[in-house]
Structure 1
């Protein structure tokens, strides 16, 4: 079943005819999420605050006694690219790194969330820790300045986010729509407390998964797609930028999230819009939500409760509807979800 992508939707719709309609604030009913590749922790290390930082990802399997390297269900290779720049107007450093991720499993469907995790030493004995603890309640460790000195006190300044780029024409920093979608509030989106997920124990440590992460559609077995991790570091001293964190390591887990039809349909809308923006084209004829132009972004999982799901686009937007197995239908007008029966595309699709 499918999983989460963020989307903010508003406004209303007037429809002609005799059908009844009632605009709603969409709610999400989520099923119990699970850990993908149980016992696997990943560490992303970024070094360098200049235009071309270095980055690497390591993985380790946690056992009852310690940790050990092994063949993970996901293979990260690269980085394919890294970038860092300071927005002088906002005094914020923006850092990003893109990796290729290969699915080494036989799984053909799934949407994953790469969720940062804080690791705390539970007994004060560093000799029995299966992994390196992070700083306080953050998912970061090994935070250092340009000169290599310890900057653990600044770990809270590191903000996980979606990749950004600087628009030289407007002079503003903007979200790069080609980068991996970032969920800022997992609970608000899914209604699931991430701490209810039964993560494998980490010897010598307590593990607390954070309420945010990067959404990743699982590629087909043996195939790959890219993921971009990004971070903001605010309040940069422009006269002495070296006083801000220069290198750090992020610890993260891989969570597979399942959600109900409304959330899945939100994912479909988000993916369709991403396709329209990135391809400079659009889905001109009505098509099912299983179309490859959509599933390339979110994977091929879908809720069992979903009976029908259709999408169509114009140059200006995305429209569609879905029906559940108990014959509840919702229509998406391009701006809002409408409880609408019988299921149909909007009468007006500018």
Structure 2
């Protein structure tokens, strides 16, 4: 009786069995070697067109789409498809199977704009995860117009001025700030770094050092230099907070105020309103002060009109130059 090892049993594409551990790892863009059973994958629920002519496989999820449509938008993808033409390439119903090392969620996000149209970006509220996927894969596969549009939206989320930041609202998750820093580094979008790094500084120290694990099991963490940059900024932010509290408390009005009692009450209201901003737990320095802005009602030599008495209120705030006050912080985080 022969002692030779019997050949491995071929698997169906829709098999749910785990692959043999000794199967070779398939590199991006190349089909499995000849005579080796392909790794099983499942059809994507959304992007599996029966008349598609190429199958992208990412994380054991297959996307059957249109080769020409994708190739027209990316030279990198066109070259990838051209490498899948050999006679021994894996095919299903005549369609070549191309393996990519991306996450299935990333490919799904990319196809949502390449197949459904780039106007998809502006027709609905964009999830930050989708935006991040567009930026990563558009950068990787050289899809210039998608990258440009996605980065424009990205810059609006992490602007370089407070007025834009205030209009943005809160992040969908503070953990997205880590992803934002990494995207800014990847694409050279340096204007987004101070804002993104500042928001990273609001995260727990453990998260700064170890990153965050997302729902799909992937981990996103800061690079070593950026993590160190945030740690170095923490005492600077704390010191700037103390300075800001002191400056806001030192509000004075001059002799031009016709109603001292009314002016004092108004100043007290402004002081309490401003100092209340610092009671928010977790924030080392509120965004207006970090961006070099005063409280909206605390402007040097400002005048306000009391709605009740009609008295003109003139007061002085000894806060120094907002730009210089924040140079130490932005210098650390930029």
TM class by smaller structure: under 0.3
Return the index of the structure with the highest Cα Rg: 2
Query: Which structure's residues are more often helix, by fraction?
Result: 2
User: How high is the TM-score relative to the length of structure 2?
Assistant: 0.25
User: How high is the TM-score relative to the length of structure 1?
Assistant: 0.24
Higher relative contact order (CA 8 A, sep 6+): 1
